[in-house]
Amino acid sequence: MDTTELKKNKNILIGVFFLLVIIISATAFFSLKYLDTPAVRLVLQNKNLLLFLCSILLILLFAALLAFIHQKKSVGELNKFINSEVMEKALLSHYQIITKYANDIIFLMDQKGVIVEVNQQALRTYGYTRKEIVNQNVVLVFAPKSIRGMSKIVKAFESREGVIFEAVHRKKNGEEFPVEISARLIEISGESFIQNSIRDISEKKKIVEELEFSQTLLQKVFDSLEEAIFLINPIERKIENVNHAAIKTFGYEKEELLERGSEILFGDSSRFESFIKQSFSIYTKQDFYETELTMQRKNGEVIPVYFYGKALIDAKKKFSLIIGVVRDISLLKKTEQTLIDAKNKAEEMNRLKSNFLSNMSHELRTPLISILGFAEILTESSEDTFIQDSSRNILQGGKRLLETLNLILQFSIIEAEQVALSIKLIDVVSSVKSLCEKHKLFAEQKELKLFFENYVDECFAETDKDMFEEILSQLLNNALKFTEEGTVRIVLNKDESDTGKYFTVEIADTGIGISPENRSVIFDEFRQASEGITRGYEGLGLGLTIVKKYTSLLKGTVNLKSEIGKGTSFLLRFPLTETGQSELSLPPVEKKKPFSLTEFFEKTKSEINMPLVLLVEDDPSTSDVITIFLRKVCRLEYANRSDKALQKATEKKYDAILMDINLGKGPGGKEAMELIKYNTMNSETPVIAVTAYALDNEKQTLLAAGFADYISKPFNKLEIIEVLTSHLQSKL
């Protein structure tokens, strides 16, 4: 009960007491006159005495009432005091239990900074006993450099609000460590105290320092990279961070790029928006994005860049940022364009070279047919020895010119890397024998002996027959050309090694030989052992170059042995196809009866029996030569343009057609052949291509187009007669 309530009860009791006394006294007084007893009569006779006795009684009752009320008040106050002490002790005990087992350090200090209470964690951490730390000023645990932190605790008293701050504390042994302090004001038994919850943040500081070091290191690495790097926030459509290379590359300040980068780098925000949408669509399928685009420098220059972007995923595995590596590829693009221009120029030069060589072939071969053709005609028809000798000289010079032209064409094809291999199974023995026969006349003219020494029963190889024979032909020509007396030998043999089985062809002569200093250059183009204006032998110096390159294409090797004055030996080595002829599936060879011109002429003695042939040729001199060559073979009709040829083929059936490929203006020979085949009565008539274009693949191209045969200008009388009559025999 509080004081106000006690006073209220006291007043009520006093009032009730006096009311009872008055009622009892009045009742007694009025009752006495009805009682007739000696005592009553005595009392009535002594009223004053009665009043006195009542007063005394009333005073005694009142004193007893006051004593009762006082006793009641004292007992209430005592109970209140006892209850408050118990409650406070209970609360303090509860506080101590809570703080005792807390993981944090807890200090309870008064307003003077004196430590009133600590928990066990505090004693363990600082190394003090309870007696050593309680009743000491809290300065005891502060490191000297953190004493100012006390002012923050004072603020907790003044503001009566909690504060959190960091400081450095010191243990009993002098060791210092960082702490985080949470100070708040509490009241115990009506007194104010500060409770300090302290946490050792050594590990946290270490982690933070390591993180800060890593971030600093990362930033340094980030800024040291030579390529521009952007951190792009695609959600907010802005650039979050850039490195020094980005600033240097584009010329903007970092703040400009962070504030307006999406607009100023991309020219306008719409292009950046398009870029972001594209990157979003890419990221739905993969985690990186690369492209080429253009960006704008501060000076207004638009530069091409290569952009490589990668998604940065946040903790919720959501797409948050794009880290973009931007590489200025201006120089690369210029270099690339330079290379493209150079490539185009090289291709154009190569095309011009090919056209030049092709045109040169045509322009040289076309007049050569007149030169060689009329020289051959004069040699055969004239009885004047001077004219015959002159004609032979013209023939010899023309053939030399033709050989030179063929070498240049072969070399140009090799240099242009346009050599097309036609690999077939060939009989090496037959090929070598055939070449020996072709060169026998030249050997006999120089009074040299040409031998073929064969040390194999059979020899087959999968190779390009024309290329293989060209290699042997060039080496045989050289051997015969550089040998003035003695012999030239061709030796065919087999060779086995760890790498496989091979066949070898050795071409040895007893000629002038090659000096050691010249052996390293003779395979180079346009190089000879004898060079300059004092050279002793004719030639361009391309023969051995072609030999080496062709040999390499056929996966062979060529080796040289030579001694000055004693001769030279070239040893060729090629892979051998290991099979016998009985097991071999050779291409079927159609066995024909040997062609005889005499027999052909017997069948065509009269002009009526001669086959009818259409000659399509725009060069008059070539037409004249062909006419003279074929006057005893067939009847010729002429057309110098494709339209005239088509008209004639529409009107008449021919036994054969000789078609020049280059007919000047208008459609060429190939187009004329196709029109004749599909639009006239000569659809089955053999059309023979006659061309001065003699590139390596020309023959295959024309045969594939539908021509029955092919003959290259210039040709001699026998060559054109053999080609033409081979297609006329079946018509006689």
DSSP string, 401-426: HHHHHHHHHHHHHHHTT-----EEEE
Run means of pLDDT, 10 residues per run, the chain, 732 residues: 55 65 64 57 60 69 67 61 51 54 83 86 90 89 81 71 86 90 82 86 83 76 78 80 86 85 75 72 63 85 85 67 84 86 80 68 73 79 79 77 72 65 87 88 86 89 87 88 88 83 90 76 53 42 78 87 86 79 46 49 62 90 87 88 90 91 83 89 90 70 87 84 82 56
**For residues 69 and 13, is the Cβ–Cβ distance under 8 A?**
yes
Closest-CA residue to 32 (of 54, 59, 17, 16): 54
H/E run at residue 105: strand 105-109
User: Structure tokens of 405?
Assistant: 């032209």
Distance CA 645, CA 663 (A): 11
**For residues 160 and 184, is the Cβ–Cβ distance under 8 A?**
no
**For residues 541 and 478, is the Cβ–Cβ distance under 8 A?**
no
SS3 content of the chain, % helix, strand, coil (to 5): 50, 20, 25
- pTM for this predicted structure: 0.46
**For residues 673 and 395, is the Cβ–Cβ distance under 8 A?**
no
Under the phi-then-psi rule, with left for phi > 0, alpha for psi from -120 to 50, and beta for the rest, what region is 555?
left
Instruction: Provide the pairing of β-strand 319-328 with 302-313.
Output: antiparallel
Sheet containing strand 105-109, edge to edge, reads 115-118, 105-109, 191-200, 176-188, 163-170
Q: What pLDDT, on a 0 to 100 scale, did the predictor assign at position 383?
A: 77
SS3 state at 17 = helix
Q: Which residues pair with 321 in a beta bridge?
A: 312
Q: What pLDDT, on a 0 to 100 scale, did the predictor assign at position 490?
A: 92
Q: What pLDDT, on a 0 to 100 scale, did the predictor assign at position 732?
A: 55
Q: Which one-letter DSSP state was computed for residue 612?
A: E
Distance CA 288, CA 265 (A): 21
Instruction: Provide the pairing of β-strand 709-712 with 687-691.
Output: parallel
Distance CA 468, CA 162 (A): 102
User: Structure tokens of 239?
Assistant: 């650039």
Q: What pLDDT, on a 0 to 100 scale, did the predictor assign at position 558?
A: 87
Q: Is 187 exposed, middle or buried (0-12, 13-18, 19+ CB in 10 A)?
A: exposed
H/E run at residue 561: strand 557-563
Beta carbons within 8 Å of 717's beta carbon, 6+ residues apart? 373, 376, 377, 380, 629
Distance CA 80, CA 41 (A): 55
Distance CA 39, CA 28 (A): 13
User: Structure tokens of 575?
Assistant: 């892979």
Distance CA 500, CA 494 (A): 11
